[in-house]
Amino acid sequence: MSDAHLSYDAFLGGLVQLWQPRNGYRAGVDPVLLAATIPAVSGQNVLELGCGAGAAILCLGARIKGLNLTGVEREASYADLALRNGKGTLEVVTADIAALPLTLRQRQFDHVLANPPYWRRDASVAANDPTREAALGEQTPLVRWVEVAAKRLVPKGMLHIIHRAERLPDLLAALPHDMGSIEVLPIAARTGRAAERVIVRARKSGRADFRLHAPLILHRGDVHIDGDQYTPAVRAALRTGAALPF
């Protein structure tokens, strides 16, 4: 993909710069919020399934230095962008998550994160752009995403997945029996609104009780007005790379 068809976009107030297609799938706030919730520490190994151009995993790497970052991406054009955007800090494997190469299946990670496609195509219309469709349309079942992620974790390793709130029952049902200490962070646009997204956290061999957290509210006020209306915690995560504790 030539640079003429790309834009160079700032994330985390410029801490992360990403080449992305001008047309097709472009990263928004969801991968940045996902990255902000992961409590990694320097020296740990991190895997992102379906990394796209690298928004989530590179935002995590900008917040926590010294991580060993690996991304898996099926679409070759996006895998190339992720490698370019990583500037030597990100290992990128071009593969379908349902058919990972043996070299990756032999490895385990302290953290696995994923922002799977949101839309089941048995109940929605496919996008015209093939790269948008690959990112947004569920071709590999959600249960497979969860199974693959869980297998790649070390004992006590942590899984983080962001998805539509309507799919929370599917996410919880998909978790293998050895994934415990489950926590759910709902994400709502404004106070009093229903959650539109959830981040699910689970720990391999975890034994803590299930926790449903208070919603993370994205915007101040009851209605939209022009200008930056993000709540302080969300603004800090999006603009400066601050953590979002559960």
Average pLDDT over residues 219-243: 88
DSSP string covering 58-113: HHHHHHSTT-EEEEEESSHHHHHHHHHHHTTSEEEEES-GGG--HHHHT--EEEEE
Q: Is residue 60 part of a domain?
A: yes
Q: Is residue 227 part of a domain?
A: yes
CB-CB contact of 241 with 13 (8 Å): yes
Q: 29-36 and 232-240 are packed helices; what angle lies between their axes, rounded to 10 degrees?
A: 100
Question: What CA–CA distance (Å, rounded) separates 65 from 80?
Answer: 23
Residues 15-65 have pLDDT tens digits of 999 999 999 889 999 999 999 999 999 999 999 999 999 999 999 999 999
pLDDT band for position 246 (50/70/90)? confident
Q: What's the pLDDT at 90?
A: 98
Residues 104-114 have pLDDT tens digits of 999 999 999 99
The SS3 call for residue 2 is coil
pLDDT band for position 121 (50/70/90)? very low
Q: Is residue 38 part of a domain?
A: yes
The segment with the largest mean pLDDT, out of 129-133, 185-189, 220-224, 228-232, is 185-189
CB-CB contact of 60 with 42 (8 Å): no
Q: Is residue 59 part of a domain?
A: yes
139, pLDDT greater than 50: yes
Structure tokens at 242: 């601050």
Domain count, the chain: 1
Structural domain of 101: 3-240
The SS3 call for residue 158 is strand
Q: Is residue 148 part of a domain?
A: yes
Q: Is residue 19 part of a domain?
A: yes
Q: Is residue 245 part of a domain?
A: no
Q: Is residue 246 part of a domain?
A: no
Give the CATH number of the domain where residue 130 resides.
3.40.50.150
Q: What is the pLDDT of the chain when averaged over all its residues?
A: 92
